[in-house]
């Protein structure tokens, strides 16, 4: 009998706990709904003020209203330019947004510090705070500060930025490429000089090369040089070949054709892709030979490159589609069909 009573009490306790848990969830849902509702009400009230208020007659905000105003300032600043943006930031400062952002810079939360430094960079005088954030203990905050400075055109030189980011040691974000693009817009020569710094990681150099490849053929010789210098590191070459192909410059032709003969199939595939993007007519004969490559992905990239070469490549594909070799004919026929569908 004692065991049954114990089980009954245990069941009752579990039921009570379940009810309490459900009540707690309901209370949290109600509280979250009220909080969200207050923020939405604040957004509706503050939006006209942010867009058209007189900074000299605005009163400082507090609590939820101030937090909402800070979020609105960041959102609206990204959508405005020129005098409208300056007026918006002046209103935000009058409402106390800058003081709130400065407080968030001292937060224990890396996310809060990141949002604060990104927003502060848009305000007059925010440059100094972003520079300080380049020494933040969190790599994401450092990267956010670097991006904000680069986008505003007030960034230090690329080597200083990379050194502070400790890129390749603690930084693993694809945003590094975006940062390099912004830095290259301001000083492409300084970004190119990173290639020759032996203390920098290849992660940094690859990001810089991708940024430089977007600038057309100006840096194609440098990319071709890097391809030759990394011949002993096939794991690095695919990214380099893709960057070289994007330039479309004849200076990269020799390096790309050499890559088509590489023993590593991944490198051959990347070189074939680069030949197609660069429209290298002189690579047509070698590409035709590669239609019988042992690896499917190489054959696909080769046939795709031939299609991009225009009439000469298409003629090669048509001839290959009639080959007695089923592998060659299949690769050429499928690409011709894809070309017609496109």
Q: How far is CA 5 from CA 9, 13, 16, in A?
A: 6, 12, 16
Distance CA 144, CA 2 (A): 65
The residue assigned the tokens 């007519």 is: 281
Q: Are 210 and 180 in contact (CB under 8 A)?
A: yes
Is residue 259, in this structure, part of any structural domain at all?
no
122 and 183 inside one domain = no
75 and 111 inside one domain = yes
Is residue 339, in this structure, part of any structural domain at all?
no
Neighbours of 77 (CB within 10 A): 20
Neighbours of 185 (CB within 10 A): 15
149 and 184 inside one domain = no
Distance CA 249, CA 268 (A): 19
Cα 102 vs. chain centroid, distance in angstroms? 27
142 and 203 inside one domain = no
Q: Are 192 and 223 in contact (CB under 8 A)?
A: no
Is residue 180, in this structure, part of any structural domain at all?
yes
Q: How far is CA 35 from CA 38, 39, 64, 73, in A?
A: 5, 6, 9, 20
193 and 120 inside one domain = no
Is residue 189, in this structure, part of any structural domain at all?
yes
pTM listed for this prediction: 0.66
150 and 99 inside one domain = yes
Strand pairing partners for 171?
167
Distance CA 146, CA 161 (A): 7
Distance CA 84, CA 92 (A): 12
151 and 192 inside one domain = no
Q: For position 93, which CATH number holds?
A: 1.25.10
140 and 179 inside one domain = no
Q: Which tokens is 15 given?
A: 């039921």
Is residue 260, in this structure, part of any structural domain at all?
no
Choose the final residue of a domain: 123, 156, 189.
156
Query: pLDDT value at position 273?
Result: 92
151 and 179 inside one domain = no
70 and 142 inside one domain = yes
End-to-end CA distance of the chain: 79
Is residue 97, in this structure, part of any structural domain at all?
yes
Closest CA to 302 of 333, 336, 332, 261: 332
Distance CA 18, CA 69 (A): 40
Is residue 132, in this structure, part of any structural domain at all?
yes
151 and 181 inside one domain = no
152 and 179 inside one domain = no
Query: pLDDT value at position 53?
Result: 65
Q: What letters, b where the CB count within 10 A reaches 16 and e where it falls short, cover 314-336?
A: bebbeebbebeeeebebbbbebb
Which residue range(s) make up the domain with 195? 175-215
Query: pLDDT value at position 341?
Result: 40
The number of domains in the chain is 2
Per-residue pLDDT of the chain (342 residues; tens, 9 = 90+): 577 777 777 888 888 888 888 888 877 777 766 656 677 777 787 778 777 766 767 778 787 888 888 888 877 777 777 778 778 788 888 888 888 888 888 888 888 888 888 888 888 777 777 888 888 888 888 888 888 888 877 788 888 888 888 755 545 567 788 888 888 888 888 888 888 887 888 788 888 888 888 877 778 888 888 888 777 777 788 888 888 888 888 888 888 999 999 889 999 999 999 999 888 888 888 999 999 989 999 999 999 999 999 888 899 999 988 888 888 899 889 888 887 544
The residue assigned the tokens 């049954």 is: 4
Is residue 199, in this structure, part of any structural domain at all?
yes
């Amino acid at each position: 009998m004692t065991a049954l009573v114990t089980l009954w009490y245990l069941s009752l306790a579990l039921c009570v706990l379940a009810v309490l848990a459900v009540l707690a969830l309901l209370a949290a849902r109600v509280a979250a709904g009220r909080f969200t509702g207050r923020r939405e009400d604040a957004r509706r009230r503050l939006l006209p003020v942010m867009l058209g208020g007189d900074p000299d007659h605005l009163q400082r905000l507090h609590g939820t209203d101030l937090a909402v105003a800070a979020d609105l300032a960041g959102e609206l600043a990204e959508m405005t330019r020129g005098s409208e943006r300056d007026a918006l930031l002046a209103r935000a400062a009058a409402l106390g947004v800058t003081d709130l952002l400065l407080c968030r810079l001292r937060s224990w939360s890396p996310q809060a510090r990141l949002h604060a430094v990104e927003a502060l960079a848009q305000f007059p005088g925010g440059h100094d705070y972003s520079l300080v954030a380049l020494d933040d203990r969190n790599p994401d905050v450092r990267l956010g500060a670097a991006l904000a400075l680069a986008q505003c055109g007030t960034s230090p030189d690329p080597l200083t930025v990379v050194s502070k980011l400790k890129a390749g040691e603690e930084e693993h974000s694809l945003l590094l490429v975006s940062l390099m693009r912004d830095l290259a817009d301001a000083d492409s020569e300084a970004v190119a000089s990173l290639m020759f710094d032996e203390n920098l990681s290849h992660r940094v150099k690859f990001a810089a090369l991708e940024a430089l490849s977007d600038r057309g053929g100006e840096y194609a010789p440098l990319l071709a040089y890097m391809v030759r210098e990394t011949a002993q590191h096939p794991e690095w070459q695919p990214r380099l070949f893709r960057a070289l192909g994007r330039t479309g410059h004849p200076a990269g032709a020799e390096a790309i054709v050499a890559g088509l003969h590489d023993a590593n199939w991944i490198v051959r595939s990347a070189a074939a892709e680069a030949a197609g993007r660069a429209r290298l007519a002189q690579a047509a004969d070698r590409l035709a030979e590669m239609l019988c490559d042992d690896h499917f992905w190489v054959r696909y990239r080769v046939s795709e490159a031939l299609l991009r070469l225009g009439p000469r490549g298409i003629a090669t594909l048509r001839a290959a589609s009639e080959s007695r070799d089923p592998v060659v004919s299949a690769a050429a026929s499928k690409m011709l069909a894809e070309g017609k569908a496109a």
